[in-house]
Amino acid sequence: MQQENEHHSTEQELIQNRIEKLERIRARGDNPFKHKFVRTTTIPEAVAAFTKAESVASETPPSQQATLAGRITALRCHGKSTFADLRDEGGKIQVFFGIKNIGEEAYAALDDIDIGDFIGVSGPIKRTRTGEITVFAESYTLLTKSLRPLPEKYHGLTDVETRYRRRYLDLVANPEVREVFRKRSRIVGALREWLDSRGFLEVETPMLHPIPGGATARPFITYHNTYDRHFYLRIAPELYLKRLIVGGFERVYELNRNFRNEGVDTRHNPEFTMLELYEAYQDYNGLMDETEELFVYVVEKVVGDLTFSYQGEQVCAGRPWRRIALHDAIREFAGIDLESTRDRDEAARRAESAGVEIDATLGYGKIVDEVMKERVVPHLVSPTFLYDYPVEISPLAKRKPDNPALTERFQVFMGRLELCNAFSELNDPIDQRARFMEQVKQREAGDDEAQHLDEDFITALEVGMPPTAGLGIGIDRLAMLLTDSPSIRDVILFPQLRTLD
RNA sequence: GGACGGGUAGCUCAGGCGGUAGAGCAUCGGACUUUUAAUCCGGUGGCCGCGGGUUCGAGUCCCGCCCCGUUCACCA
């Protein structure tokens, strides 16, 4: 215990110092944690109103009375006058405390105000001698006492571990981080607007799945006490959403979290946000058109321009987007043909001739997938549809009528990021059962990402699902792209890190 | 899991040739009624990630471990 105290002695001293101030405040009969404060306006509104009034009345700048609230981010004390920077969510304004304006008692009480405290302040807004827009405080009130020191004012908080583990400090110290998350919110809002305007119904399906399904991924396992059984955190909502199409909804979407028990890197977080939508009577070609429309809507709304830069490269999202069959793209970028063979070993030979290392356990479909990731995706900066994927790696997608080895599936890539996965949904229950059985075989052969047989889902398909196309969009990656963030952790408020003891 | 880089004051960072651990900001005390990274004077503050080892002596060298980042592998 004592060791622990000594270990934190410095920080403890800073905290202790503030606690003593807090006690002095209480001793004066003031409450350092107020319940409510009515402000007349926000800081950015007050600044905008002042600037506007000023531009109209050119000779004598008007002074406008305002009551503002915010956090003190800087204090400059000059004896009988003090300047503070006050910041709220949207902006910053300087506050001037003069002993003549607020009185000796209130001025003396400033001794117990620290950087980090929240205050409310009233007074006229004017420019100082040096031209800074400033509230000349006539009164102020402490709203919340802060007991811990904030990160340094000039450099902010740069330690990435602290930024992720204690995001509140990151948000306080680095205003641009708040902008990233505002933008993320606008992306999600724009997606919903587009979907809602087209009659898509937002639904919520289970997060606890008795059988993990809808994607090839390792699930998290959890346990329900009353039912005395294991559940899986969902890896995708797909099979439930398709059940809703069976039930008669024609346009549904779900925008929520998926959980996959796999590696963590700059593009993968164990929990991530996915938009999945399903549209009856549509196929993958029509869905490609709609996907373009949807993205263009969101990009224009959020970025304001269809050309933007991601990690130093220009992305041009203007329509039409390039559409190229996966096998054609492999021919173009990898210089090999994987379409004219279906033989696993031959495909592996050709892949290796293109310099792609192929693990002996990979089947034909995964070889194609591997070559795509290694040789094709790195070229896809501006938006590109790859379409017609091997049936082996697309167990929920409908086959092409003229080529049963391929499925009507597409993916969208932008900024070298995989953003979407979509297909004409397989609605033939007999084929679906066969595909599941193929997956089960792979699972038994040791592939623990292979999909499970979901008997109830087959039953639903037997009841009948109309022709349907479905699309999944990785929201985190879309947010990375549109905020020019290099890591998925930069667009997730509380990314997963190892817990500390 | 492998490779590389990092972990030093509350924050941002120096030091690293083995010889009593530094700066700026913050904080505390003093001066100051127009500053804005305020200024000036003085002070407090460190298990130098953790544990071993070598050594008269270890932030510094060696070994192991933990955490973070990048990357490769795996995946979306």
pLDDT tier for residue A447 given thresholds of 50, 70 and 90:
confident
pTM above 0.90, yes or no: yes
Crossing angle (nearest 10°) for helices A475-483 and A284-302: 40
Average pLDDT estimate for A261-269: 90
At the top level of CATH, the class of A172-321+382-490 is alpha beta
Q: How many Å does it take to go from CA A91 to C1' B76?
A: 37
Q: How many CB atoms lie within 10 A of CB A94?
A: 19
Token digits for A388?
């017609």
ipTM of the complex: 0.91
The percent of residues above 90 in pLDDT, for chain A, comes to 84
pLDDT tier for residue A360 given thresholds of 50, 70 and 90:
confident
DSSP A379: G
Q: How many Å does it take to go from CA A444 to C1' B2?
A: 28
Nearest to A370 by CA among A388, A355, A387: A355
Nucleotide nearest to A78 (CA to C1'): B32
Q: Which residues contact residue A218 at a Cβ distance below 8 angstroms, ignoring those fewer than 6 apart?
A: A260, A261, A262, A448, A449
Q: How many Å does it take to go from CA A162 to C1' B64?
A: 26
Taking only the tens place, the pLDDT of each residue in A408-421 is 999 999 999 999 99
DSSP A457: H
- Whether the beta carbon of A442 falls within 7 A of nucleic chain B: the reply is no
- Whether the beta carbon of A104 falls within 7 A of nucleic chain B: the reply is no
Beta strand pairing status for A221-224 and A64-77?
Answer: unpaired
Q: How many Å does it take to go from CA A66 to C1' B32?
A: 29
Beta strand pairing status for A133-136 and A92-98?
Answer: parallel
- Whether the beta carbon of A45 falls within 7 A of nucleic chain B: the reply is no
**In chain A, residues 263 through 282 whose Cβ sits under 7 angstroms from any atom of nucleic acid strand B:** 263, 265-270, 272
How far apart are alpha carbons A488 and A272 in whole angstroms?
9
Are A308 and A278 a contacting pair, CB within 8 Å?
no
CA dihedral (A227, A229, A234, A237) positive or negative: negative
**In chain A, residues 108 through 137 whose Cβ sits under 7 angstroms from any atom of nucleic acid strand B:** 114-115, 128-132, 134, 136
Nucleotide nearest to A358 (CA to C1'): B73
- Whether the beta carbon of A360 falls within 7 A of nucleic chain B: the reply is no
Dihedrals φ, ψ of A163, to 5°? -60, -40
Token digits for A168?
């509140």
What per-residue confidence (pLDDT) applies to A448? 78
Covered bases, chain B (protein CB within 7 Å): 1, 6, 9-13, 24-28, 31-39, 44-47, 66-76
Q: How many Å does it take to go from CA A117 to C1' B8?
A: 29
Nucleotide nearest to A269 (CA to C1'): B76
Q: How many Å does it take to go from CA A476 to C1' B63?
A: 42
* 3-state SS, residue A74: strand
- DSSP letters, A186-226, are HHHHHHHHHHHHTTPEE----SEESS--SSSSPPPEEEETT
How far apart are alpha carbons A317 and A305 in whole angstroms?
9
Taking only the tens place, the pLDDT of each residue in A204-234 is 999 999 999 999 888 999 999 999 999 999 9
CATH superfamily, region A2-149:
Nucleic acid-binding proteins (2.40.50.140)
How far apart are alpha carbons A333 and A280 in whole angstroms?
35
Nearest to A38 by CA among A69, A11, A10: A69
Token digits for A381?
């900066």
- Whether the beta carbon of A1 falls within 7 A of nucleic chain B: the reply is no
**Helix (H) or strand (E) run with residue A84 in it:** strand A81-87
Residues of chain A with CATH 2.40.50.140: 2-149
